[in-house]
Amino acid sequence: MVGGKQVFNIDGGGYSSLVGYNFTIKNASSLGTLTNLPVVLFDILQILNCDDGFDISNIHSFYLDKTYWTNGNTGTYLTLSGSFTNLQISGGRVVSDIGEIGIDVSANPAIDVSASMSKVDFSGEGTSVVPYTNGDIYLGYNFSNRWDVDCPGIPLETDDNANGDINLDAEVGSGFVTTFNIIGNGAPKKLVGTSTSNNLFRFTASSDNRIVYKGSKKRFFQIVGSLSFQGDLNSAIFIFYIARNGVVLPNTKVYREVGENNDVGALAVVGAVEMEPNDYIEIWVQRNTGAGNLMTVSLNVSAK
């Protein structure tokens, strides 16, 4: 297709679909707009010397397979907006030179079921992706948690690489005190302390000593925690746990006794934890024997 004109201007009204196989678009002013279509499928599409790309919105099932946007093109290759039920982009290449854009999702397209993009090679000195601007957005990443993205040249974004951390670090000589009102064995309770989180992807830190999984699929996480604490009475024994959704996981328990002169104890808490979307983890503690309270000096937890 040639001639310096816009190629598509289609509003399918929710009824018509568009399928293209093994073709080339060349010298167009714009690839144009496609909206309100049940299915759009392009398989093996070469785009050459075009001034601008596609503007795509409100497609039920959108599929691009082996499409090539080369360095002879300008403008923005693919702008997505509105809503999609299923979206899949697989294979091909996107070259964005200075002042050009590969994919623009800044209009925050809604994904009802799933979206994936894989094996698309992004290159060039321009902007590969203009990211989402609202929802669960993570520093250094581009897409919402409905997307699985695995493409050279842009960050990997899948539930499989979700990670989160909890960091609690008191000033030297001080700490955060978790109190126990009875002598001897009592119910477990959440460790007290002001925490921060520095490395979150598909996790959020909704409160102190808590991270919430925000992916879209259930999966197991390896939880690794380390902490330092001090008791205020010798010989008290504390038990530490990983807790999911406010319930301690018994198979993660670790015992530690307060030694002479109220020494500072250090220990690790480790476990494999299955998490659904919006599940959260925390570190909890129980005084098993003895008396006194517990002062947390440091706490570091990671979920991967």
Same domain membership, residue 197 and residue 244: yes
Which own/partner pairs from 257-262 qualify as long-range (CB within 8 Å, at least 24 positions apart)? 258/230, 258/231, 258/233, 258/234, 258/290, 258/292, 259/234, 260/234, 261/234, 262/230, 262/231, 262/232, 262/233, 262/234
The yes-or-no verdict on residue 169 having pLDDT over 60 is yes
- pLDDT of the residue at 2: 55
Same domain membership, residue 114 and residue 192: no
User: For 47-65, what is the mean pLDDT?
Assistant: 97
Contacts of 34 (CB under 8 A, 6+ apart): 8, 10, 12, 18, 40, 54, 55, 56, 57, 59
pLDDT tens digits, residue range 256-302? 998 876 678 899 999 999 999 999 999 999 999 888 899 999 999 99
Domain final residue, candidates 123, 157, 191: 157
pLDDT tens digits, residue range 76-99? 999 999 999 999 999 999 999 999
Residue from 62, 100, 56 nearest 82 by CA: 56
Mean pLDDT of the chain: 94
Domain final residue, candidates 134, 157, 180: 157
User: For 133-157, what is the mean pLDDT?
Assistant: 93
Q: Give this prediction's pTM.
A: 0.89
The yes-or-no verdict on residue 10 having pLDDT over 80 is yes
User: For 110-117, what is the mean pLDDT?
Assistant: 96
Question: What's the total number of domains in the chain?
Answer: 2
Q: What is the CATH number of the domain that holds 291?
A: 2.60.120.40
- For residue 1, being part of any structural domain is answered with no
- pLDDT of the residue at 184: 62
Question: Contact, 285 vs 238, CB < 8 A?
Answer: yes
Residues of the chain with pLDDT > 70, as a percent, come to 98
194, with CB counted inside 10 A (0-12, 13-18, 19+), is exposed
Residues of the chain with pLDDT > 90, as a percent, come to 84
Range of the domain at 100: 6-157
Same domain membership, residue 174 and residue 72: no
